Structure 1
């Protein structure tokens, strides 16, 4: 038998025939050479035939090497992990659920050394702050990290995978790009830690200012809501790329404007943002500036509502009647109008602002009519 007629053998002794027998490779397929190159590369990365078969079955063959690199290490079952940590299995599942992770099958070897480290950290937290407070904190952390994870995927899909797919890249190129992107994630934890410390310092400063006039977990602040009138019908007319660009623009403007004025963008709910600021005048400036940034856009028109008072700080969010009031006030505003309550006017003063009476309004959920004002910029003649 000549060398050319011998069965092609992938690295570490796996032949093309073995790939074919496993259902991974069809020598008659148009992409046979590309698929064989991918499988040989998998073997070079240390992947087994069984792992490849699972990847093909799950429809994630080109992402297989990256998936395995994401969570390396020996895998434990739930009871094995519980024994190692001296924790009840039910408690482990409860922490996972709070952190936004689905329950693990009892007999599935899914837990890595990283999972053990996470659970140990929650044990320490329970000893410091008490068990009842650990799970709500886990929900906040899990929710924030889930959003970061989704944003990471979107960043990769739009900027790396889509160009490769549009260029008809080979499976091997897609798999290598996946693995390279996954390995680059090693740089993220130090960045997240540094950013967390910076945000924590800022949050401590803001909390101290707000709590100087209120109780322990209560804050005296101004809360605002700004939404885009016309967004829903417009979203049905735009392409996905155009809609994404509009959403990015709104979120970017809301974040930059709020942060530059020492406020905090609490959350984005579709076409609406919620923010808080210790200084009422700054809150007015945030809402008015956001309206101004879209003034030339006839397709969407921002409007806003602000209220000042005591807020309950809990889990990175804010609650209480004042929050509900600001939300209802925003719903009453006409496009390009910012309505505020009497308390906002009293706190903000007249420094660069003016407030025109907008009458008394009945708001859903409130028994008494609420006096409102339309906020604006003061002119030199005022």
Structure 2
């Protein structure tokens, strides 16, 4: 192939041009066509093309279905449920690992699990794997990308590390899955009512907490994207640290975290600990809101009025505070110092809701106003420093 004539070497000189030339030659010798190379260069993913080839599929869906002994339709549905684009039955986008997965799919169906349930599990798996793969790719880049690298060296290094390290993830994933299933079984309840109904209870009575960083959106205009990502990572780490049983961390989304617990006191304590940990980490101030009620746990997420109400309560909470509804206060009355925060009009709620601020008993609701002002001033100073600090750095831990 004449790579120069195809425009694949445009703008490159000296060692950079030579490195791309050698990488293109390797890929062409491996069977990559000119159109695919041109697309990869245009989309700035030429360096990752060897990884794609290393992990790419060579089997069609029809062949996978035949070897696994399953119908082609549920196999194609499984691919879409995982979040991948639809493929033609004869398109070679499947791998040997997909044959093993298809055999597992057949075992689930043969064991009597409804196809709808299998697809729901697959969708949740796809969502989790999407986040995991993105995190792994970022970790690879941070670890193995060196200043002054050329395309050829990075491409070959990434492909080699993917081939060497990716199989090592399988035992980690298996162990994590077993641990989570074991924990779910420990928390689960199958009593007389469930045995009579033939299914688990649709609703659970829990306390829900949302917590978010105040002013995180406005920081987007002041900090580099990498630094914003660092703030989000620190919040996720701190949220995981305070989520000890019976408190469960449901998810983190950028500047926010969601928790649930069957015990109000445990969740209030976790929320206060997170507020304190965020302050110690020199992050933007955090606020939290709690509500309780019946909710439904579906596909790893939670739905119900208590979820919506907790989110609304968080929205009216002051920085560095934890607010709860009256039900939450009554359920955790003895363990904390509670004070009225007033009655609030919340979106989607007809009447004004009385809300209460939780503090630790040693702090108390009558903390001197000078002390409260000192802490508020300290928080404002931190935000001011963030707004004026040079870009490119990372927040201090």
Task: Give the TM-score category using the shorter length.
Answer: 0.7 to 0.9
Q: Given that residues 225 and 273 in structure 1 are in contact (C-alpha distance below 8 angstroms), is that contact kept between their aligned partners in structure 2?
A: yes
Find 2:178's aligned residue among 193, 197, 202. Answer: 197
Determine if the alignment matches structure 1 residue 340 to structure 2 residue 324: yes
- Cα distance, 1:22 vs structure 2: 9.7
Find 2:158's aligned residue among 170, 178, 196. Answer: 178
- Written as runs of structure 1 = structure 2, the 5 A alignment for 1:264-283 is 264-283=248-267
* In structure 1, C-alpha distance between the alignment counterparts of 2:148 and 2:179, rounded to whole Å: 43
Secondary structure class of the residue paired with 2:188: helix
- Taking only aligned residues, the RMSD between alpha carbons, in angstroms, comes to 3.2
- Cα distance, 1:208 vs structure 2: 4.0
| Corresponding residue for residue 146 of structure 1 | 130
- Cα distance, 1:122 vs structure 2: 2.4
Secondary structure class of the residue paired with 1:305: strand
Secondary structure class of the residue paired with 1:364: coil
Find 1:243's aligned residue among 218, 228, 236. Answer: 228
* In structure 2, C-alpha distance between the alignment counterparts of 1:62 and 1:327, rounded to whole Å: 43
Q: Given that residues 209 and 278 in structure 1 are in contact (C-alpha distance below 8 angstroms), is that contact kept between their aligned partners in structure 2?
A: no
Q: Which moved more, 1:105-114 or 1:28-37?
A: 28-37
Distance 1:296 1:113, change over 3 A: closer
- Tell me the TM-score normalised to structure 1 length: 0.80
Q: Rg larger in 1 or in 2? A: 1
Determine if the alignment matches structure 1 residue 290 to structure 2 residue 286: no
* In structure 1, C-alpha distance between the alignment counterparts of 2:322 and 2:91, rounded to whole Å: 54
Secondary structure class of the residue paired with 1:51: coil
Find 1:360's aligned residue among 343, 353, 373. Answer: 343
Q: Given that residues 305 and 339 in structure 1 are in contact (C-alpha distance below 8 angstroms), is that contact kept between their aligned partners in structure 2?
A: yes
* In structure 2, C-alpha distance between the alignment counterparts of 1:209 and 1:84, rounded to whole Å: 38
Find 1:257's aligned residue among 234, 242, 247. Answer: 242
* In structure 1, C-alpha distance between the alignment counterparts of 2:4 and 2:138, rounded to whole Å: 36
Unaligned runs of 5+ in 1: 1-17
Secondary structure class of the residue paired with 2:307: helix
Distance 1:211 1:95, change over 3 A: farther
Determine if the alignment matches structure 1 residue 124 to structure 2 residue 124: no
Distance 1:236 1:202, change over 3 A: same
Q: Which moved more, 1:105-114 or 1:284-293?
A: 105-114
Q: Given that residues 261 and 286 in structure 1 are in contact (C-alpha distance below 8 angstroms), is that contact kept between their aligned partners in structure 2?
A: no
- Cα distance, 1:253 vs structure 2: 1.0
- Cα distance, 1:135 vs structure 2: 1.5
- Tell me the TM-score normalised to structure 2 length: 0.78
Q: Given that residues 207 and 263 in structure 2 are in contact (C-alpha distance below 8 angstroms), is that contact kept between their aligned partners in structure 1?
A: yes
- Cα distance, 1:138 vs structure 2: 1.1
Distance 1:98 1:35, change over 3 A: closer
Find 1:137's aligned residue among 121, 124, 127. Answer: 121
Determine if the alignment matches structure 1 residue 65 to structure 2 residue 55: no
Distance 1:23 1:292, change over 3 A: same
- Cα distance, 1:362 vs structure 2: 3.1
- Cα distance, 1:265 vs structure 2: 1.4
Distance 1:343 1:114, change over 3 A: same
| Corresponding residue for residue 109 of structure 1 | 92
